Amino acid sequence: MRREVTLNTPADSVPDGYGQHMPYQRFASLAIGINEVLFLFLAASACAARAAPGPAAAPNLAAPHPTAPHPTAPLPSPFALGINEAVAIPRRLADAMPVAQQTTELNRRAGLSARLGARFVRGHTGNYPWVSQQSLAEDPRRIAQSDAWVQAVQAAGMEPAAMVSPWPGNDTGAYTDSYVPKDMAAYEAYVRYVVERYDGDGVDDMPGLARPVVYWEADNEPDLKNAHRARSAVREYDPAQFCTPAEYAEVFLATARAIKQAFPDAKVLNGGLYKPDGPEGARWFKAFAQTPGVPAAIDIVSVHTYHDNIAGDRIAAGIGTERAGLEDKPVWVTETSFGTDATTDAEGQARMLAVLVARAALAGADALFWHSLEDKAASAYPKKLPTFFGYSLLDTDAAGVSTPKPVGVVFRNLAQLLSAHDLRGCTADGSGAARLNDGTVLIYEGSRTVTGSGLNLRTGEPLTTGAIAVAPAVLYPI
């Protein structure tokens, strides 16, 4: 059954290019079904009205959700683990999915993430939720999807790491022939509108917002846009002249300024680089970071690095590139991962999680986000497997039952360990191990004899004196 209803946006308006407000003309008198009405009700009802969860997880995923941290703390735990794009629905599916079903799916994925011990979930303007300036201009109803995303993440006891940007995703050239918006005043008004909606001050907030969304990233991988032409570009162009360090600096500074105007206590992250560990990425970031005003505007340095060897050298190199000159800033590795392939099996992938966490912490990082949450049964991908198939923490079968892979088990055990032991400021303890300030030793490569007690991070089994602790493992101080 369908019925005519009038939908009201937050404060019944969106900002125009001059920071004033104009009615949402396209958002009124829409013909929608009962599922859409249910979605808007759920998006406005906060945690108490959370939709029923999806299919039950396997028993070994059962665990209490972590306690939600204070929203304005720089980090909610000594070293935080997060999951990149964990609470998301592919656009090809979401656009054909009733919105109430979207809410259920978001809650299912948020619950899985929380039971793995994730403290953060990173959003993406090229993935769910689609809240770039371009996406909201095309369809203002996207803001309701953003509300549902925030609600699902917060209700599961985690913190959103959100993103704002002029254009969606990494294929920016598919939407524009100029990375810098032609109307920067309108762009800043968009940023203020989105951040204000989630700042928790009681003014123009999302209905039922549980707590402020503190962490905001300015776009994604700007150096990628400068290195590769978009697959569906609106015109032929030289990518070397698109999203240059100077152009991204202009957009970043405008983004940071608008975020702080809307929410002075927000934490601003630069867009994590595509290849900060290579010479091109290093040159790009140096030029960006030397722009006047940029260092002061960055609250948290965002880094993306993926593997190229089993020692984790690349993640250390990427962090080193972006920390140069910004040593006083916290560092978050907002994307990293290691997949299974012909040379690395599931057990090797599990060990690599510990390698990447340890090498990141030794290089000065404060948080690490794994990419990504789950691989569904191959039948869920009728055309081709996703780019990151095989990198995820969970396997979800055709019946919807999710089971941790070995890497997911290590992630969960590491999350529990790191909630009580501060990994920040750790130091190398010989080869293949990191010593925490409290004397705990994280073994990420090789093996050692236990002299007190420890924990096998792969199985969760305790280790006693005389046992051989094989990476990934932990030795507790005597």
Rg (CA), the chain: 22
pLDDT tier at 236, thresholds 50, 70, 90: confident
Domains of the chain by residue range: 2-425, 427-478
> How high does pLDDT run on average in the chain?
84
Tens of pLDDT, residues 126-170: 888 999 999 999 999 899 999 999 999 999 999 999 999 999 988
Answer whether 237's CB lies under 8 Å from 290's CB: no
Count other C-beta atoms under 10 Å from residue 324's C-beta. 12
Separation CA 460–CA 276 (nearest Å): 34
Nearest alpha carbon to residue 104 among 33, 30, 49? 49
The answer to which of 5-19, 97-111, 252-266, 363-377 has the lowest mean pLDDT is: 5-19
Give the mean model confidence (pLDDT) for residues 375-382: 82
Pairing type for strands 367-370 and 374-376 reads unpaired
Strand, coil or helix: 211 = coil
Q: What is the CATH number of domain 2-425?
A: 3.20.20.80
Nearest alpha carbon to residue 289 among 248, 237, 242, 232? 248
72 pLDDT more than 60:
no
- pLDDT given for residue 256 in this prediction: 98
Separation CA 337–CA 360 (nearest Å): 12
Give the mean model confidence (pLDDT) for residues 250-270: 98
Look up the pTM and report it.
0.84
Contacts (Cβ under 8 Å, ≥6 apart) of 39: 98, 99, 100, 102, 103, 144, 148
Nearest alpha carbon to residue 375 among 398, 360, 394, 352? 394
Q: Give the CA count within 13 Å in the CB-facing half-sphere of 441.
A: 23
54 pLDDT more than 80:
no
81 pLDDT more than 80:
yes
Scanning 271-333, the segments in alpha helix (DSSP H) are 279-289, 294-297, 313-323
203 pLDDT more than 60:
yes
